[in-house]
Chain A
Amino acid sequence: MADFEPRIVAFLCHWCTYTGADLAGTTRQQYPPNIRVIHLMCSGAVDSIYVLKALIDGADGVLLGGCHPGDCHYQTGNYKARRRVAILKGILNQMGFTEDRIWLKWISASEGKLFADTVTKMTNDLKKMGPNPMKQLWNA
């Protein structure tokens, strides 16, 4: 499994995590290129269907990045995202699918280093886990 490169689909909110990712770039933080970023206005705009579609269609992990609790630009979007992710993880858990492939992370616009470190850690963790079994299931 040494040459396995996980693919991570990241849904990042415009006001915090996406800007944090931008900061990681402008401050020349190094992180693995395994992440594909999808830019959304708010973590609260992420429907469970986006996450599942990514996982079923071949992503090894999904990262949801939003503002820290209390910092949401739209007041409460990240709290709602948190409940949605909790529900989705609860469902997947009981379907025998490891919920560790879905990450929820609060990263602010000033936390470029945290963004780079998060992507690094997630990539390493997914490498240990191996490929997502869902993408090979013929009947999924």
Chain B
Amino acid sequence: MSVQYQIFVCGGIVPDPLQTLDPVTAPAGPALKNEMMLPAVLDPFAWHALFEAARLARSSPGSKIYLVSLAPKAKLQQVMMSVAQKAVFDLVVIDGPASGFTDSNAVAAALSEAIQSVPGLDMNRLLVFGGWESASRGSGTTLQAVGEILGITDQFQGVDDLRIESDGSFRILERIDGGKHQVSTCAGAPAVLGWATGNLPEPPNNPQIGMTNMRGIMPALQKARPAKLNAQDLSYTSVTLPKQQRETRVVDKLSAEEIAREIAEWIKKS
């Protein structure tokens, strides 16, 4: 009989990647210009973790997925309109900033506290999923710290694949340098898996799943607890965006080789 896992997917929200982002200094510290106006999405790395969690839950009947998110609950509600049709989950909400200008240890403490507060938590069935990094301003350390606080020593980062062996052990592919994977095995839960991109396409929108999820999402948002992040303990000396250079030209007659050569020349002179 397969293990009925408790899969906690830790995922924050980030501005829709197609938005124009301008860092500004706000009274509370660094922020993005008009951040609350921008549409948001679930952090893409957490997206992949959620898809992988859904696959694992399907192959291990009785498993349950919790999506644990620290974000402004008003924005999180909007994001749930897009997320909730993808996979069945229970939402656990911590109301707080999603700007990324927060101390990852404080975020990890809030996430782990939220996980520990879920009734019936069973360490022998616990899997903590998340992104091995964040799409915006993350340092890539939060998930590791969550695992440490929860006392989970089997941690894997840059994960692209998880296979459950017949004896219940895990076979895990982690990304390493040179475009290769490191193959690891561990006995099973509890474990922390920081996902890279995984192997799954985005699931289709399923209205039935959405309607089921939404019955739990709205109450979860209403009883969200505020995060204690001690923002005043941090100060930033400077914040900048990576420099962008843009030059656009529409072509339809050039060969792939010619286009590649042009792009290479453009990169060289940039």
Binding partners A and B: no
